[in-house]
């Protein structure tokens, strides 16, 4: 069993006036792990259910392995699915649950047994086959649900927040396990989650959704390093990227109420601008931009330091050995590569052709010093 490609074209689903999925197009490549990521209500689960055939698309089409399956029932779409609630049959034991689909499809008993043995061994369920779902822990139930999907030997596996009912430790273990299983079986996996850490650690490709639309699709690295919108920038990463409003005077872009010039306009820019910088890209430096420390959150290895720069707030992730105290002024520095600029209204990323990040340590400080020498203007 090797994965096949899924393609959604201008897919739309609405209930009355509510647009759950608003004309999205994307491709989940064969044998790849694709994650649909977004906050609750963004349409990611609906998209998955449209692929599964559990919901009928209002408009648009779904192609699986090149064939239009938009009108086909779920069992003719070459898919297996793991539900958030696991959807195990409570009156059937583990073996019967896993074999349910094979029995429905009248697979011969000998083959059923062979496949059950293989799947049970693969998922470590061999000792639990006689148990009822109620007699299993959450993690074990999760495995049974997985077993039911794997034994079908379908090229596509759809997962709807499968780990959200597990505790943190188990969730981490299952993440690794799921990823390994997907690689081993070569499945095309489409995985829905609202947990960006889960998405980044498992996905080959992430599709970030918001309000029924796709915000960005790309590899975890691309999405983290080059967020296409302010929404993605805010959604990915813990803590999320700092987005601070800038005010413009001539070519200079500053934080309102603070002197340092953080960027310079080179071309046409919108009036509302957001500057993005990740907390981990901020460092202490004697030559940096002075900011006031407002609060410190200890995380162990690192501290999250909330600082005030003019009218804006930003969070820096600093090593915990560094001496920082509330109420003090510290100087922060960052590399110009770490700076992103977004349109404050549309949220779109602004091309580097139209602006330039200013090295805070050099020019702006120099300018600030110059301002001190010149006296107030």
Partner 1 sequence: MLARREWIHGWLLLTPALILLFAFTHYPAVTTVWHSFFSTPRGQRPSTFVGLDNYDFLLADSTFWQVLSNNLWYALVTIPVSIALALMMALWVDGKLRGRGFVRMAYFAPTVLPLIAVANIWLFFYTPGFGLIDQVRGLFGLAEVNWLGNPDLVLGSVIVVAIWKEAGFFMIFYLAALQAISPSLREAASIEGAGRWTYFRRVTFPLLMPTTLFVSVNAVINSFRLVDHIFVMTEGGPDNASSLLLFYIYETAFQYWDTAYAATLTVVLLVLLSILAIGQFFLVDRRVHYR
Q: Which is nearer to partner 1, 104 or 373 (CB)?
A: 104
Residue with tokens 């030559």: 287
Q: Of 10-18, 73-81, 226-234, 253-261, which part binds partner 1 (CB under 8 A)?
A: 73-81
Q: How far apart are CA 153 and CA 187, in angstroms?
A: 9
Q: Which is nearer to partner 1, 152 or 203 (CB)?
A: 152
Residue with tokens 């981490």: 172
H or E stretch at 114: helix 109-123
Contact between 57 and partner 1 by CB under 8 A: the answer reads no
Q: What are phi and psi of 325, to 5 degrees?
A: -135, 150
Among 4, 6, 69, 79, binds partner 1 (CB under 8 A): 79
Q: Of 57-65, 82-90, 182-190, 266-274, which part binds partner 1 (CB under 8 A)?
A: 82-90
Q: How many residues bind partner 1 (CB under 8 A)?
A: 24
Which residues lie closer than 8 Å to 134 by C-beta, 6 or more apart? 90
Using CB atoms within 10 A of its CB, is residue 207 exposed (0-12), middle (13-18) or buried (19+)?
buried
Q: Of 18-26, 50-58, 114-122, 240-248, which part binds partner 1 (CB under 8 A)?
A: 50-58
Contact between 62 and partner 1 by CB under 8 A: the answer reads no
Among 20, 50, 81, 277, binds partner 1 (CB under 8 A): 81
Find the shortest distance in angstroms from Cβ 355 to partner 1: 49
Site for partner 1 in 143-162 (CB under 8 A): 148, 152
In whole angstroms, how large is the CA radius of gyration of the chain? Answer: 26
Contact between 87 and partner 1 by CB under 8 A: the answer reads yes
Contact between 187 and partner 1 by CB under 8 A: the answer reads no
Contact between 203 and partner 1 by CB under 8 A: the answer reads no
Contact between 73 and partner 1 by CB under 8 A: the answer reads yes
Cβ(93)–Cβ(129) under 8 Å? yes
Strand, coil or helix: 17? coil
Find the shortest distance in angstroms from Cβ 36 to partner 1: 18
Q: How far apart are CA 183 and CA 177, in angstroms?
A: 10
Residue 11: beta bridge partners? 24
Find the shortest distance in angstroms from Cβ 275 to partner 1: 44
Contact between 108 and partner 1 by CB under 8 A: the answer reads no
Among 100, 140, 179, 367, binds partner 1 (CB under 8 A): 100
Q: Which residues of 253-284 are buried (b: 16+ CB within 10 A; e: fewer)?
A: bbbeebebbbbebeeebeeebbbbbbbbbbbb
What is the side-by-side order of every strand in the sheet holding 242-249? 340-343, 273-277, 242-249, 252-254, 261-265, 355-357
Contact between 101 and partner 1 by CB under 8 A: the answer reads yes
| Measured CA distances, 62 to 33, 171, 235, 288 (Å) | 18, 31, 27, 52
Contact between 164 and partner 1 by CB under 8 A: the answer reads no
Cβ(276)–Cβ(346) under 8 Å? no
One symbol per residue from 109 to 148: x for binding partner 1 (CB under 8 A), - otherwise; what is it?
-----------------------x-x-------------x
The beta strands (E) that lie in the chain are given as 6-15, 18-28, 33-37, 59-64, 67-68, 79-82, 156-160, 188-193, 205-210, 213-218, 242-249, 252-254, 261-265, 273-277, 283-298, 302-309, 312-319, 329-333, 340-343, 355-357
Pull the structure tokens for residue 137. Answer: 């822990």
Among 60, 74, 138, 290, binds partner 1 (CB under 8 A): 74
Find the shortest distance in angstroms from Cβ 204 to partner 1: 24
Q: How far apart are CA 290 and CA 306, in angstroms?
A: 13
Contact between 327 and partner 1 by CB under 8 A: the answer reads no
Among 56, 85, 329, 362, binds partner 1 (CB under 8 A): 85
Find the shortest distance in angstroms from Cβ 136 to partner 1: 14
Q: Of 72-80, 114-122, 269-277, 346-354, which part binds partner 1 (CB under 8 A)?
A: 72-80
Among 16, 104, 127, 321, binds partner 1 (CB under 8 A): 104
Contacts with partner 1, residue ranges (CB under 8 A): 52-54, 73-75, 79-81, 83-85, 87, 89-91, 100-101, 104-105, 132, 134, 148, 152
């Amino acid at each position: 069993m090797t994965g096949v490609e899924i393609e959604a074209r201008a897919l739309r689903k609405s209930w009355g006036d509510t647009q759950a999925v608003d004309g999205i197009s994307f491709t989940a490549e064969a044998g790849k792990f694709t994650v649909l990521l977004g906050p609750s209500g963004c349409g990611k689960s609906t998209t998955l259910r449209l692929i599964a055939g559990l919901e009928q698309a209002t408009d648009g089409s779904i192609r699986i392995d090149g064939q239009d399956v938009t009108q086909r029932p779920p069992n003719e779409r070459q898919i297996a699915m793991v539900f958030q609630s696991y959807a195990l049959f409570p009156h059937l034991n583990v073996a019967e649950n896993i074999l349910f689909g094979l029995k429905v499809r009248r697979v011969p008993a000998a083959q059923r047994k062979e496949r059950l043995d293989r799947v049970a061994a693969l998922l470590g369920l061999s000792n639990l086959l006689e148990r009822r779902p109620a007699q299993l822990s959450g993690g074990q139930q999760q495995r049974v649900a997985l077993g039911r999907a794997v034994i079908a030997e379908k090229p596509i596996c759809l997962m709807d927040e499968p780990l959200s009912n597990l505790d943190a430790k188990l969730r981490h273990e299952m993440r690794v396990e799921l990823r390994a299983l997907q690689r081993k079986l070569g499945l095309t996996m489409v995985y829905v989650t609202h947990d960006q850490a889960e998405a980044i650690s498992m996905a080959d490709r992430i599709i970030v959704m918001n309000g029924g639309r796709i915000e960005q699709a790309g590899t975890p690295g691309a999405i983290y390093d080059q967020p296409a919108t302010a929404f993605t920038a805010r959604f990915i990463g813990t803590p999320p990227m700092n987005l601070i409003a800038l005010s413009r005077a001539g070519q200079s872009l500053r934080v309102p109420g603070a002197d340092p010039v953080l960027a310079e306009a080179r071309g046409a820019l919108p009036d509302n601008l957001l500057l993005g910088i990740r907390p981990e890209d901020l460092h202490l430096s004697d030559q940096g931009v002075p900011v006031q420390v407002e609060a410190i959150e200890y995380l162990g290895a690192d501290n999250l330091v909330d600082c005030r720069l003019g009218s804006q707030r930003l969070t820096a992730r600093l090593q915990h050995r560094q001496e920082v105290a509330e109420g003090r002024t510290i100087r922060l520095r960052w590399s110009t590569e770490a700076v992103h600029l977004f349109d404050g209204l549309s949220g779109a990323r602004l091309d580097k052709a139209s602006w330039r990040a200013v090295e805070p340590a050099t020019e702006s400080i120099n300018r600030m010093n110059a301002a001190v020498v010149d006296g107030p203007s």
